[in-house]
Structure 1
Amino acid sequence: MSKLSLSIGSKVFYQNKEYEIVKAIDFKTLSIRPLDNKFEIIDVAIKDLSSKPVEDKVQLDTFTDEEWNEAKEKYEAIKELVFRKKTRSEVEKVAEQQKVTAKTIYLWIKDYETSEKVSSLISNKHKRGKKGNRLDPLVNKIIEDVIEELYLTKQRIGFSKIYDTIKSECKKSNLTPPNHQTVRNRIKAIDPKFALKKRFSSKKANEEYGNFEGEYPEGDFPLEVYQVDHTPLDIIVVDPIFRKPIGRPYLTLAIDIYSRMVAGFYISLQAPGYFSVSQCLYNAFLPKDDFLKKQGIKGEWEIYGIPSKYAVDNGKDLIGLDMQRVCDELGMSMTRRPVGRPQYGAHVERVLGTINKKIHDLPGSTKSNIVDKGEYDSVKNATFTLDEITKWVTEFIVNVYHNRIHHGIGMTPKQKYKIGIFGDDENPGTGIPPIIENPESIRIALLPTYYRTTQKNGITLDGITYYSDVLRTWINKTDEKGNKLKFKVKRDPLNIQKLYFFDPEIKEYFELNYRKLHAPKMTLWDMLVAKRYLKEKNIKDYNEDDIFDAYDRLTEIEKEAKEKTKKHKLRKSKSHKMVDIEMKKEAAKENEPTETIKETVVKKEDNKSSDLFANIKLFNVKEK
């Protein structure tokens, strides 16, 4: 992952030639000039620029927790010295504290200032893939669980008991226990304020770390802090096939405190969790042009980039190690919202409330309470699908909310954001934020993580096997004790057709596809429905072929039902048309004169008489 700096004077590459940024025209266009000809200035689209002539292949999520903690400690040591003039005595003081030479501190500063990434501070021995010093993922899990169950409690269990429990749990699983210092380092890495609150009280944590009343003090410039929160939307959505009610969706949303701009959002039928937050942030990090095009929305949604901080509540699934790893790499701090302090999330909650209030005007709304709802039948009137409500929310954010005067800032969020970026007579502006050049590395890093062994036929997850030639090196690999090694894989719940396998030596992710090449593309929820179908059919010992067959069968049932629905609607439509025609005929008859009606009746009677004698044969009597 690399970030492209777009500040004035920054060096960029355009068509593999190096240029210097002269000025920003707008959110999508910059003026640049080549380094070898300062009189030639051209205007180019930001999307056509890069930080290097060759693609940067460095990826996130490629080091162990110990390596990351070591890099973070280095950063904490030098953060007051970077990007400023520093004296020799200042450097030597830090060197003495870290028990290294002043030369080493200068190297750390240089590495960080060159890349602005915490990962640059990971020692070369780790980057080369030193073997034998990595904890088994299961040991990591045991350490995390024991620390949470024993250390982060009001009992305030001592270190000896914590370590003995970790050691005991490892032996039960035939795993090599970590050493004392590894566990101590893991405890030291916990946010001290968070630990104090868990072990003592929120009051003590607030007193110790100078907490404040009121709302966030941050918000002096764009992207200083994002607030992230969820809410169930007050509307029932329908499925796209039968238009039948399927439930209330959840909205996860990130807001920029400075401008009140919505930075990103994600809507899903699944309850809020890590994946919802990760998808919301992924939407917030990237430019929105492709997203708006996909939604068919005309308008501008200029905000993108990495915030300095992002604030969430204390849900365990929202502050996991995967998210922390991304935050560390991007230089973004994770702030946990204090329990019992609703004002800390006031900004984002107001926006969520505003969206829900507007949704109350839509068909299928559940309203905000029983009194407002009255006798209105939300289920019966449900109209919007999940995609349609996502489009509606996008339209509201981009073309209504962002362009409406916000009383808290005295202008529209769009105006406030523009002032924060480009400046005005009173504010210099921060400049256009850097762009993430390799969004795929961010997307993969944000996906849920699993650990699995490698077998001869590949890696199996949830009963489905994946394979690629890249696995050959790692098939049936074991550690020193003969235990099979487990490898990190990631999976996108929206497309389980492939896994992302992390090669621990090359330190890159590789795609693994279904072993069954012609198996159907499914989401995680499609797979769960297929398994439920098998369970209902009393098929217990099923394999991946059964899962795929069940999914195909359900798809076929869905198609048949869809076709029947179409035919039913067509027959119903024809029936209505025939009724209309007959009604028109009867109405026309009622308006005809009496004589005409009589003539018509006589003609009908004559026709009936003629019909009676139509088949009678006449004989010539005279001939007889």
Structure 2
Amino acid sequence: MSDNSAADKDWEEAEFRARVLAELPEQLTEGDVAWAMRQLDVSRATVYRLAKQFREDARTSALLPNSSGPKPGMQPLDPAVEAIVSRLFRDFYATRRKPTKTRFWREVAADCHARGLAPPSIRRLGRWLDLKDQARLMMRREGRDKAERRHLATPGGLTATRPLDIVQIDHTRADVTVVDPVTRHPLGRPTLTVAIDVNTRMVLGFHLSLEPPSLLSVALCLTHAVMEKSHWLAARGINTDWPAQGIPRAIYVDNGAEFHARAFGLACSEYQIDLQHRPPGTPRYGGHIERLIGTMMGAVHLLPGSHFSNIFERGDLDAEAEAVMTLQELETWLALEITGSYHVRVHSALETTPAAAWAAHTDEARLRMPADLRQFLVDFLPSEQRVLQRDGFHLFHIRYWSDELRWLMGRESRKYTLKYDPRDLSRIFVLTGDGIIEARPADLTRPAITLWEHRAARRALREEGRRSVDEELIFRTIQAQRDLVDSAERQTKAMQRHKARRAHLEPRPMIDVTPEAEAKKALPAPETKRNALKDHPGFEVEEWYDDD
């Protein structure tokens, strides 16, 4: 290979590095670093080094690959200068004070001038620093823990001897846009919450939602993981097996707010589940779930509407315009992918399939199953504490009542735990010493609403300057907002039908196009009777032709 072709290849590599590093945010997360490592095919330390170089010198040439061995023209330092550099490196630069390279160079230059020596340039000093052991240098400057996380090998930190000994749960935004089941308009990327058994690598359960990660999504995912799934699969027309079920002995999660919720911790204690939070800065303890999520997203990239992993893979593809799958269809597709593909493929770490590993190691008699699946879900739902008043419980500015609450009247005045499902505020669950009491809004004519509708209505009322908000006003506002959305959808569909009916009136290009025809086509078309009527108020929508 000639020197010119080698230089061209190095420049192309530098351009690619610049494009990847330009996508990284100012504050790097573990996910950002992992993505850059995959794109650039370099180590974690190299990603940080390249990112630092690119921020200090935003030129592509700063990212040219380094050739091994001494740099061309680089001569050893003068022994006297070498002694000064080594002393200041040991006593000044490689210390917990962490001076910058520029300050280090100034100190070296000052000592060299004092002794009548020519100081090295800052770039030459930087090349001298690059030859040092970066792991040991970082250990001396920032401590052993951070150096180990950055530089030292950290093989897997979790092992499980039996199924359900350790279960990992995590969230991710799916790399695909879903559409509305009625209008087929794009709705956005859903959140996938998934649970995996570390011992057998079986997917225990998952949950899809258009809401951000929350305690509700964790509760629904965990309930799906625990339950027997034959009826769930049959309801979706899936004829594969999904034998994974049972209450886990330990759950490993990250440090998201939903995993630190008091209700989640209490529910885990209720079912003797050992809740473990991943140590900060130790992504290896979540490696199993991260690899599973990566596998699932790799499969999702085959779907229309996929966003792929990054903008370079996506190119100029319009993911929202390509989207065709609803949330329910994506849920069924994922279930098929899990049960019909992932579970029956040989796993490299197991040297067998997850389904075979589950069958070989699971003792059905020893599986812990909840006595009441409904009770299990309720226990993991978010909760609030309220005092029972004479007219019932007041939650989210809604008054809830049940005849069974009469038996609690007159007892000691204390706060009761109220469990609620944010997807449906038409009922709450009151936890008592004798079991669960289901309470409904005192006004049974109230429609079912979601917590997100409730919050939107509260925001709308606050923007109007209303400080005192009552239950009646909230429900009227929600109904008005629903009517507005329904009206907009009807108008959108009607206008689309109206445009389709007028399609035959659009001018069509002639087969035999001549200059005279082109000039004639450029003239304004005469107004037809229909065109003249299109702005008439009575011509807005031909309702008698509407199907719905």
Smaller-chain TM-score range? 0.5 to 0.7
Q: Which residue of 2 aligns with 1:563?
A: 490
> What corresponds to 1:348 in structure 2?
289
Question: Which amino acid is the alignment partner of residue 287 of structure 1?
Answer: E
1:489 maps to 418
Contact 2:213 2:258 in 1 (8 A): no
Matches for 1:376-395 after TM superposition, within 5 Å: 376-395=317-336
CA shift at 1:213, angstroms? Answer: 5.5
Shift of 1:316: 4.3
CA 1:321/1:340 → structure 2, altered by over 3 Å: closer, same or farther? same
Listed as ranges, the matches of 1:122-201 within 5 Å are none
Q: Aligned pair 1:304/2:245, yes or no?
A: yes
Q: 1:224 to 1:451 in 2, by over 3 A?
A: same
Residues 1:526 and 2:460 are matched in the alignment:
no
CA shift, 1:477, in A, is 6.6
2:435 is matched by which residue type in structure 1?
Answer: E
The code of the aligned residue for 2:315 comes to G
Q: 2:398 aligns with which of 439, 451, 464?
A: 464
1:380 partner SS: helix
Report the secondary structure of 2:321's partner residue: coil
**SS across alignment from 2:436:** strand
Residue 272 of structure 1 aligns to a residue in which SS?
coil
Q: Offset at 1:285?
A: 0.7
Q: Is it true that 1:498 corresponds to 2:431 in the alignment?
A: no
Relative distance call for 1:359 and 1:320 in structure 2 (3 A) is same
C-alpha offsets along residues 396-437 of structure 1, whole Å, 9 cap, x if unaligned? 11222112222221222112211223xxxxxxx565624323
Q: Distance in 2 between matches of 1:430 and 1:469?
A: 41
The 1:246–1:430 alpha-carbon spacing in structure 2 relative to 1, beyond 3 Å, is closer
* 1:510 maps onto 2:451 in alignment: no
Structure in which a larger fraction of residues adopt helix: 2
Q: In structure 2, the residue corresponding to 1:379 is in which secondary structure?
A: helix
**In structure 1, C-alpha distance between the alignment counterparts of 2:382 and 2:461, rounded to whole Å:** 26
Q: Deviations over 1:113-159 (max 9, x none)?
A: xxxxxxxxxxxxxxxxxxxxxxxxxxxxxxxxxxxxxxxxxxxxxxx
Alpha carbons of structure 1 residues 289 and 449: separation in structure 2 relative to 1, 3 Å: same
- Whole-Å Cα distance in 2 between the matches of residues 442 and 430 of structure 1? 20
What SS does the corresponding residue of 1:496 show, helix, strand or coil? strand
Distance, in Å, in 2 between the alignment partners of 1:396 and 1:579 is 47
1 CA distance for matches of 2:144 and 2:274?
Answer: 20
- Are the equivalent residues in 1 in contact too, given 2:178–2:187 (CA < 8 A)? yes
Alignment counterpart, residue 266 of structure 2, candidates 307, 315, 325? 325
Question: 1:226: Cα distance to partner?
Answer: 0.9
Aligned to 1:361: 302
Q: 1:241/1:546 Cα in 2 relative to 1: closer, same or farther (>3 Å)?
A: farther
Which residue of structure 2 lines up, in the alignment, with residue 550 of structure 1? 477
Query: Normalising to structure 1: TM-score of the pair?
Result: 0.53
Q: CA RMSD in A?
A: 3.1
Looking at structure 2, the residues matched to 392 and 530 of structure 1 have their Cα atoms a distance apart, in angstroms, of: 35
Shift of 1:465: 0.9
> In the aligned structure 2, how far is the partner of 1:526 from the partner of 1:502?
25
Q: Deviations over 1:571-618 (max 9, x none)?
A: 344444x569x98xx99xxxxxxxxxxxxxxxxxxxxxxxxxxxxxxx
- Alignment equivalent of 2:222, drawn from 258, 263, 281: 281
Between the aligned partners of 1:362 and 1:370, the Cα distance in structure 2 is 16
- 1:476–1:552 Cα change, 3 Å: farther
Q: CA separation in 1, counterparts of 2:222 and 2:359? A: 21
Contact 1:454–1:477 (CA under 8 A) maintained in structure 2: no
Contact 1:221 1:430 in 2 (8 A): no
Query: 1:446: how far off?
Result: 0.8
* 2: CA distance, partners of 1:287 / 1:526: 33
Cα separation, partners in 2 of 1:202 and 1:254, compared to 1, 3 Å: farther
Match of 1:375 among 302, 311, 316: 316
Kindly indicate whether the alpha-carbon contact (under 8 Å) linking 1:214 and 1:344 is maintained by their aligned counterparts in 2: no
Structure-2 separation of matches of 1:265 and 1:254:
6
Whole-angstrom distance in 2 between the partners of 1:502 and 1:388: 36
1:446-482 per-residue CA deviation (whole Å, 9 max, x = no partner) reads: 1111011222221111111101223335558765xxx
**Residue 374 of structure 2: aligned partner:** 440
* Counterpart selection for 1:397 from 313, 321, 338: 338
Q: Residue 222 of structure 1 aligns with which residue? A: 163
Deviation at 1:348, TM superposition (A): 1.0
2:254 maps to 313
- Aligned equivalents of 2:408, 2:370: Cα separation in 1: 32
| Counterpart-to-counterpart distance in 2, 1:531 and 1:243 | 29
- SS of residue in 2 equivalent to 1:435: coil
Cα distance in 2 for partners of 1:329, 1:565 equals 50
Give distance in 1, aligned partners of 2:246 and 2:364.
Answer: 12
8 Å Cα contact 2:178/2:189 also seen in 1: yes
Distance change (3 Å), C-alpha of 1:292 and 1:335 = same
The answer for unaligned runs of 5 or more in structure 2 is 1-142, 512-548
One-letter amino acid of the structure 2 residue matched with residue 442 of structure 1: F
What displacement does 1:337 show? Answer: 1.6
| C-alpha distance after superposition, 1:215-244 (max 9, x if no partner) | 245322222211111111112333344433
Corresponding residue pairs, total = 364
Per the alignment, do residues 457 and 430 of structure 1 end up closer, same or farther by CA in structure 2, a change over 3 Å counting?
closer
Deviation of 1:568 (Å)? 3.4
- Aligned AA (2:263): D
Displacement after TM superposition at 1:520 (Å): 0.3
- Corresponding position of 1:407: 348
Report the TM-score, using the length of structure 2 for normalisation: 0.60
Identity over aligned pairs, percent: 32
Amino acid at match of 1:499: I
Query: Measured at CA, do residues 530 and 382 of structure 1 come closer, stay the same or move farther in structure 2, by a change above 3 Å?
Result: farther
Contact residue 158 and residue 285 of structure 2 kept, 8 A: no
Partners of 1:237 and 1:355 lie apart in 2 by 16
Write out per-residue CA displacement over residues 480-501 of structure 1, whole angstroms, 9 at most, x where no aligned residue: xxxxx32211111121101111
Report matched runs for 1:577-588 at 5 Å.
578=504
The code of the aligned residue for 2:417 comes to K
Q: Give the 3 Å change call, closer, same or farther, for CA 431–501 of structure 1 in structure 2.
A: closer
What residue identity is the alignment partner of 1:317?
Answer: E
Match in the other structure for 2:172: 231
Contact 2:169–2:195 under 8 Å retained in 1: yes
457-466 or 530-539: bigger deviation: 530-539
Q: Which secondary structure state, in structure 1, belongs to the residue aligned with residue 420 of structure 2?
A: strand
CA distance in 2, matches of 1:380, 1:568: 19
Question: Is contact 1:287-1:302 (8 Å) kept?
Answer: yes
Give the conservation status (yes or no) of the 8 Å contact 1:262–1:397: yes
Specify the code of the residue in structure 1 equivalent to 2:434: K
Shift of 1:516: 0.9
**Deviation at 1:539?**
4.7
Among residues 236, 252, 256, which one is paired with 2:197 in the alignment?
256
For the 8 Å contact 2:422–2:450, the answer to whether it is kept is yes
Tell me what 2:538 maps to: none
